[in-house]
Chains A and B, each alone.
Chain A
């Protein structure tokens, strides 16, 4: 079974400050890890993914994420937050084993960037 946990329902950060949104995962094989963002009344948009290789993954809109195998974490980060970054962020995992695309999403973290 695969699962992902986002321990914070909401993260508040001042504009211009660095932000971190936390995610931990559990899979039986090698993980495929993703971050998606959802704006109100919209579908999800892809931010970045980790499949293999460098532990620091760079994605859209200046976001990056750090894969830590020993801590089974994949935290989302950005050096300087923008008000426009305020949205709902979902971490997702897919077990590398198997041949289909069941992606398991976390419950989401609401990011609020304060001007």
Chain B
């Protein structure tokens, strides 16, 4: 079975641009979460979606937005990119309702570099 897939794997953008990152969860998983991992730090929670509805949001500015599609895939959008947005963006899926005690299955991430 395929794991969590993310695209693209690498991306280079310039300040002020917009970026869209994509994630396909494991088949049967209905919950998708997004995390930002800056070099040398642990992942930071950005969003969680379950059944196409936003269920949680971390401390990120409104430039960050996301959505989940009927097939449970998800997009993370970042507007007006800043140098500080350079990071590894991780998508994670889980099987159930996302109550918080489930294990997360992570993709390999999208490495975003903002120049």
Contact = CB atoms under 8 A, between A and B. Distances in A.
Nearest to A6: B42
B41 A107 contact: yes
Interface in A52-93: 90, 92
A94 B3 CA distance: 23
A94 B103 CA distance: 11
A49 B102 CA distance: 9
Contact of A100 (B41, B55, B104, B107): B55
A107 B45 contact: no
Contacts of B35: 105
Given A46-B105, A49-B103, A94-B100, A101 B41 contact: no
Nearest to B9: A41
A98 B41 contact: no
Contacts of B102: 101
Contacts, number: 77
Contacts of B98: 100-101
A114 interface: no
Instruction: Please tell me the size bucket of the interface on A.
Output: 20 to 34
A45 B31 CA distance: 17
B109 interface: yes
Interface core residue of B50, B90, B106 (most chain A CB under 10 Å): B106
Given A44-B106, A46-B104, A100-B100, A105 B56 contact: no
A36 B90 CA distance: 14
B26 interface: no
A101 to B, nearest CB: 4
Contacts of B24: none
Given A45-B106, A46-B104, A101-B50, 5 more contacts: A36-B106, A44-B92, A96-B101, A100-B98, A105-B42
